Amino acid sequence: MTPMVSRVTAVVPFRIAGQRTSMLQIEVNGRRSAAVLLGVLDTRPGLFTADGSGTGQARALNEDGSPNSGASPAFRGSIISLLATGAGVSDEAGAPILPVRVQIGGQDAEVLYAGAADGQAAGVLRIDVRIPDGAAAGDVPARVFFGYTPSPAGTTISVQ
């Protein structure tokens, strides 16, 4: 008996940019699913999280390379690296075409780099940001914006 596939992770080809719909068909071991018509968005921002759920502690590295967490928070003014996806079309170097903005604790953080993440699949971005000096301590909300579209609420960064 063939095991059921309950989750599929895929990278959407950039060639569908500008289209409003696209057909999706999955093939596993030579067997194809029925084709499904899907809507296409220009961008759908998301931050990777430590547990992969899309909410809670962001999958982020502090300036010293340690994973950001309640036990290892980032200092105000320090730099953290976030992993994000859903930026839409990127340039030849892997940087998003749309403007990138990050908010930490509701404050705009200085974006120092936004582009391809070494060793990751196409479409995964590394975003280096400086923790705002006025950020509150504790687990504070973190959001990325590609253009005007924000990532969903519910992701946090630990700040000291």
In a domain, 144, yes or no: yes
Q: Tell me, yes or no, whether 92 lies in a domain.
A: yes
Give residue 4's pLDDT: 67
Range of the domain at 140: 46-159
Give the 3-state secondary structure percentages of the chain, helix then strand then coil, rounded to 5.
Answer: 0, 45, 55
Q: What is the pLDDT of residue 78?
A: 98
- pLDDT for 122 equals 78
Residue numbers in the chain where pLDDT is lower than 70: 1-5
Query: Would residue 101 count as lying in a domain?
Result: yes
pLDDT at residue 120 in the model: 85
**Tally of domains in the chain:** 1
Q: The domain that contains 138 carries what CATH number?
A: 2.60.40
Asked if the structure places residue 127 within a domain, the reply is yes
CA 22, 52, 15: angle at the middle one, nearest 5?
25
Instruction: Please indicate, yes or no, if residue 1 is contained in any of the structural domains.
Output: no
Residue 121 within any structural domain of the chain: yes
In a domain, 36, yes or no: no
Closest by alpha carbon to 14, among 114, 100, 87, 120? 87
Please, are residues 136 and 113 in contact by the beta-carbon 8 Å criterion?
A: no
Give the pLDDT confidence score for residue 118 in this predicted structure: 87
The answer to whether residue 55 sits within a structural domain is yes
